[in-house]
Amino acid sequence: MKEEDLDLNDHIARAKEGNQAAFRFLLNLYWLEVYFFLLKRIKNENEAEDIAIQTFSKAFDKIATFNENYTFKTWVITIAKNTHIDLARKKKKSIITETTNDQQEKVHLVPDENPTPEDHIIREQNLAKLQKNIRQLKPKYQLVINLRYFQELSYKEIALQTNEPINNVKVKLLRAKKLLAEIIKKG
């Protein structure tokens, strides 16, 4: 058996007897491994540190149950994993809360923001009317209106697609909107 194994087993045996120096030795020896194991899973330094502290607290409370046939590192990492899982479950459970009858009634009082079938018809009619008005514009103005507002392209993308400078696109779009506004006012 290696000298390190004897030394480790000696510290574990002394920790089982309640020796604080042995606890400190085990904590210092495995702290970084447990912390980085948790950090890799959680990706939050503060949470990883909190769970590592809880892990060692549990490990030292249960050290009498440690079986020397296993490695201490594996045992403490397993405690860390289980502690993380337990906390994640508690967190998830606290998010899902039961609602009271009063809360359920309040939910029904919240107005529905979703469009009604009538809203859809009106919107389609307005869109059809708008497209009819746009078709009255010259093709070059129809194109920039379509690219900007229906295909939602940026000025730069429109400039690339129409092979024109960005400033020309902006001016053309401004002119198209002005002409479209005049057509809408007449209609």
List of domains in the chain = 3-95 (1.10.1740.10), 117-186 (1.10.10.10)
- How far, in Å, CA of 162 to CA of 98, rounded? 57
pLDDT value, residue 9 = 87
7-19 pLDDT, tens per residue? 888 888 998 998 8
What pLDDT does 101 receive?
Answer: 63
Which pLDDT does position 3 carry in this prediction?
40
Q: In 10 A of CB 72, how many CB atoms?
A: 19
At residue 129, the pLDDT reads 84
pTM of the model: 0.49
Closest CA to 61 of 92, 41, 39, 83: 83
Ranges in the chain, pLDDT < 50: 1-4
